[in-house]
Amino acid sequence: MKKIGIADTTFARYDMASAAIKELQSQSTGFKIIRYTVPGIKDLPVACKKLFEEQSCDIVMALGMPGSEPIDKQCAHEASTGLIHAQLLCNKHIIEVFVYEDEAETSRDLAWLADRRTREHARNVIDLLFHPENLTKHAGQGLRQGFEDAGPVH
């Protein structure tokens, strides 16, 4: 049975992991979910690597909500770089779902965005794991997660 890891943080202001788990379970069956919560996004790279190597996960979602200060963007950059490094070391995908606090104007919009982007990426995880041909079908279509799709250019 396939294993999907979910790494999330106490720093985030929305329970993205619960949204991810619900969406994954509504989309498919035949997999086990393993959740691992860490303090902040810079703790995610090693958390994901541990999910691969100690928990035998086949793919991991890395969920985080960076703040809006310049230092927060730098932390997100460091975390993303580490997540890419972890993938190269393990030869497995980590789907990064980051929602920046300044992407939304109200708390309500921020919660909506975090929920929707997480759920749309959860479907990418199902496709990568079980239906990679679905992704190729949508290649070059300008898909976005959270806000509306940009669409293709002609």
Q: Which of residues 12-71 bind a copy of itself (CB under 8 A)?
A: 12-18, 35-39, 42-43, 45-47, 49-50, 53-54, 67, 71
30 versus 70: smaller Cβ distance to a copy of itself: 70
Question: Interface residues for a copy of itself in 60-119 (CB under 8 A)?
Answer: 67, 71, 73-75, 77-89, 91-96, 100, 107-108, 110-111, 114
Cα(37)–Cα(94) distance, integer angstroms: 15
Does 121 bind a copy of itself (CB under 8 A)? Our answer is yes
Cα(126)–Cα(132) distance, integer angstroms: 9
Does 154 bind a copy of itself (CB under 8 A)? Our answer is yes
Cα(24)–Cα(26) distance, integer angstroms: 5
Give me the 122-151 binding string for a copy of itself, x by CB under 8 A, dash otherwise: --x---x---x--xx-xxxxxxxx----xx
Does 2 bind a copy of itself (CB under 8 A)? Our answer is no
